[in-house]
A and B are shown apart, each in its own frame.
Chain A
Amino acid sequence: MLVVDMSTVPKKFVIKPFRAHCQMDKEQAQNIWKSLSSAVTEIYNKNASLLSFEELYRNAYNLVLHKHGDMLYEGVQDTVYTRLRSVAEQVAVCPDNQLLQEVCEQWKQHQVTMIMVRDILMYMDRTLGSVSSQLLHNQYLRYVPQNKKMAVYDLGLWAFRETIARHGQVRDRLRKLLLENIRDERLGRLIDHNCMKCALYMLSELGIDSSNVYEEEFEVYFLKETCQFYRSESHLFLSQNTCPDYLKKVESRICEEMQRVPNYLHANTRPKLRHIVETELISAHTPALIESKKSGFCDLLRQSEEKMADITRMYALCFQVPATLDLLRSALHEHVRAAGQLLLNDEMKDPVVLLRSLLALREKYDNVVRNAFRGENIAQKKVKEAFESVINADTRCASSLVAYIDELMRSGLKGAAEGEVECELEKVIIIFRYLHDKDVFEVLYKQYLAKRLLNQRSISSEAERQMLVKLKRECGYQYTTKLEGMITDIRFSRGAMEKYNTHRDEKKMNEVDVKTARAASCDIDVTMLTAGYWPIHPAIPCVVPDVAASASESFKNFYLKQHTGRKLTWLTSSGTAELKAIFSDVAKHELTVSTYQMCILILFNALDFGEELTMQSITDATKIPHNDLRRHLISLCTPKYRILLKRSKGKGFSSNDKLRVNNSFASKLRRVRVPLVAMKELSTHPNSSHSVPAAIEEDRRHLCEATVVRIMKARKQAQHNDLIAEVTRQLSQRFHPQPQFIKKCIESLLEREYLERNASDARLYVYLA
């Protein structure tokens, strides 16, 4: 074995010219061609196995090498065309029911054949032809020289297209068959997917580099037919079926069409198909679906608990077509608004019931948004807007809300766990947020809270405090200072009472004087109210019996010693008294009456049995205001609680009426609580009015003017629109002022020379210091 060390051998490359081959003459070429031609024919006849690939390749190679490439090419071209023409004849006479299969068959064969031919003629392709599209992905062949002939494979495609696919007898029939098949499948019959796929892919390949053939020959017609098909189907179906059923059908149809694409359609068709289907099935009918009486969207909403699945389906379908989604949202808004309006149209509704139904309504549509609308923000906003518009159109809502909270605090939250309380109050706050006129709410809430606190009706002070915390969070601390002050007052009162009682007990122990002891023996329970916080206005106190007077004096002195510099006024218009009433030996009762009633009844102690008092004498002795006197007296004369008897018949009092004790008063209970008859003003059914109470209107005006002045002082000057916007923004926590209202306040300030208009621009206001 000879081992050559190549590193030492000097390398020398010599390029020698090709040895000139013998020229191939025309005749030789023709012969070679003939053999190739017959080989191609054999391939067509499926006798390829008899051939030698190597030999054919070599022959072709040689032909091209000897500059007979063109002849070869033309020859091949002829052969292919001739062959295909005869195939075309065959296909053309095929009856309809076999045409599709025939075409597919021929196509498959053609492909196989052409691949073999291409392989044989590959050298020719590379030299003569442009690079076949199939080889383009090879990066080394990316540079395509111009003016080259079409590659053989493509040539074959072209030929097939011209001779067969576009053959007069074939083209239209083929298309018709394809569309018919699809139609059949849509109507529920089974078709041959393979055949379809083969045919359609054939069309797309025949376009060579583009999808023109597929589109022109098939897709355009397909889309048109799809459109018509679904247009008529949807109309028909919708007219005969309910909407939920229609929606189910739509869902399945969309699924089916999308499945059709991978089954046999070209991927490019997918978006176009989808668009058509969505348009015809969804967009075209959305308004009808919303309004329809056959369980349309509105109907479904009404029964949202049962029909949630249907609503979800509708949303999911519309989600794919954003334009229809907007329609759906608007419909939701309208529906909620109408439903709310319906609730409020019922004038007779008790406020607590009204609010409960509002809460239920809100809950219901909240569910719809969360489940069917996937909790989307826009829908939430629409529902919120709907509620806002309903609630603020009617001033009953503010008072209903207050009444509802009152009911919760008195009894609704009884035995509720902390989580439940939180939950209930949170719901309340959600409605509160919808209110525009929060100052109206505040006034009413204060009144109801005062009543609850003074009569000790709240179940849980913790719940009261929680409510205030929530209100504070919504509106700022200024909103709740007074309310909190009220609650604090109650707490301090309790503390003060304890101190007083200890003090009094001590005093009693040290007191020797029996008389003083008895005078101080009337028990007293005082609640201290800070004047500014409570919605009660002190009036001149009436004349109280001595016993009560001395007890209250004693307390007053004690208190003032502790807190010097304060002024105390007794509120005799409120408060209760417990009296031991002895009507006879057997009828001994404890009566719980109002302070005024106590004053009246004690008067009778000084009288003899059966003696009477006139109205006038009662007024003189007690100095109770006239209207209150009537009310408290009537309460003592009602059939159920007839403690006093009066001369005149009927409900009213005459000015010279006389009263005496009813000695035959009887009651099953030992302790009798005498209720006060209701006055019209305290009725819990406020009239549904759209006007705001005068006092609140006045407050608003002051607030608005103060805000304007404050803003102008800071800015020195402001444009009209900017000023209005800023004032609205600052006041929005309490109420929503109308631009006209603010304008009026501005004019008033202009008149009083707080502001002036700029000389050259009437829209500019200037602050006058």
Chain B
Amino acid sequence: MAAQLRAAAARRLRSGSRSERRPPEPPAVEPEKIIKMFETYAEEEDCLGMEGLCGLCEAVGIDPETDVRLLCFCWRVGAKKPSMILREEWNEGMCRLRLDSLDKLKKFVLGDSCDPTNLEQKQFRDFFKFTFLFSREGTHRTIEKDLVADLLPIAICGRSCHEETFLKFLEASSTTRVTLDQWCSFLEFSVKVGAAPGFEGYEEDGAWPLLLDEYVEQLKADAVP
């Protein structure tokens, strides 16, 4: 919406006149097309589940298992429940994003809008949190660590120097599940604290989750010859 307003204002400026010429209408979004698209891919009445999303990905041309852009798309659309997009969410989101055809969708997904590397920190934080929430199983509040091992490299988009070391640590540790707090804190941690084994910027009373404290402790101990 904002983009269109800007465009209209720019046009007005260019034309320079104060005439009451109405700005040209932006191309209308056809809700029927959006609904139709939903029904093409959705395997259930009201929601686009994993199967449907896989189909969508195939149509767009990305790999649903490894491509972060799927997650980014779901985030942009505004999915709230894990592993699915509801009909209402789809309708509202696609309308908002003005994607009423497969081509537009393709352009959107394959373009910059779904590339998380361009997101600034605050937005990325939000996206990162979303990836966790979206990847849960049903009503669970936590994610199994195997899934985390797969998800983290995709979701973090290279923004963390701790990616490898942490995953290795997680594999060996006794924790079985990861909580939302731990997930989000990992991102903050990656931003604030330097790489192992120095861990510059790490403070013991920095209110990091115990898991991260253990991670630092373990790696520091390992580093000592």
Contacts and interface: CB of A to CB of B under 8 A. Distances in A.
B190 interface: no
A720 interface: yes
Nearest to A762: B188
Nearest to A753: B141
A438 B142 CA distance: 35
B79 to A, nearest CB: 20
**Chain A interface bracket (under 10, 10 to 19, 20 to 34, 35 or more):** 10 to 19
Contact of A721 (B141, B205, B210): B205
Interface stretch (A239-247, A383-391, A673-681, A740-748): A740-748
A628 to B, nearest CB: 38
Contacts of B206: 720, 762-763
A751 interface: yes
Nearest to A719: B207
B160 interface: no
B135 interface: no
B188 A720 contact: no
Contact of A747 (B181, B188, B205): B181
B207 A751 contact: no
B209 interface: yes
Contacts of B141: 751
Contacts of A757: 181, 184, 207
Contacts, number: 34
Contacts of A747: 179, 181-182, 209-210
A751 B180 contact: yes
B185 A743 contact: no
Interface string A8-50: 0000000000000000000000000000000000000000000
Interface in A716-757: 720-721, 724, 739-740, 743-744, 747, 750-751, 757
Interface residues of B, number: 15
A762 B207 contact: yes
A743 B210 contact: yes
Contacts of A740: 210, 213
Interface string A701-726: 00000000000000000001100100
Nearest to A747: B209
Contacts of B185: 762
A396 B94 CA distance: 68
Contacts of B210: 740, 743-744, 747
Interface in B117-151: 141-142
Nearest to A761: B207
A751 B181 contact: yes
Nearest to B125: A759
A744 B208 CA distance: 11
B117 to A, nearest CB: 23
B201 to A, nearest CB: 13
Nearest to A741: B210
Contacts of A750: 179, 181
A739 B209 CA distance: 12
B181 A763 contact: no
Contacts of B180: 751
Most buried by B among A739, A750, A762: A762
Nearest to A739: B205
Nearest to B205: A721
Contacts of A751: 141-142, 179-181
A739 B204 CA distance: 11
Nearest to B189: A762
A763 B210 CA distance: 13
The residue in B142, B184, B205, B213 that gathers the most chain A C-beta atoms within 10 A of its C-beta is B205
A748 to B, nearest CB: 9
Interface in B183-215: 184-185, 188, 205-207, 209-210, 213
Contacts of A724: 205
A757 B205 CA distance: 15
A763 B188 CA distance: 11
Nearest to B211: A747
Contacts of A762: 185, 188, 206-207
A763 B205 CA distance: 9
Contacts of B142: 751
Nearest to B142: A751
A720 B182 CA distance: 16
A715 to B, nearest CB: 16
Nearest to A755: B181
A763 B207 contact: yes
Nearest to B206: A763
Interface string A150-161: 000000000000
11 contacts: A720-B205, A721-B205, A724-B205, A740-B210, A743-B213, A747-B210, A751-B180, A757-B184, A757-B207, A762-B188, A762-B206
Closest 5 CB pairs of A and B: A720-B207, A763-B207, A750-B181, A751-B179, A743-B210
Interface of A: 720-721, 724, 739-740, 743-744, 747, 750-751, 757, 762-763
Given A740-B213, A747-B210, A763-B207, 14 more contacts: A720-B207, A721-B207, A740-B210, A743-B210, A750-B179, A750-B181, A751-B179, A751-B180, A757-B181, A757-B184, A757-B207, A762-B185, A762-B188, A762-B207
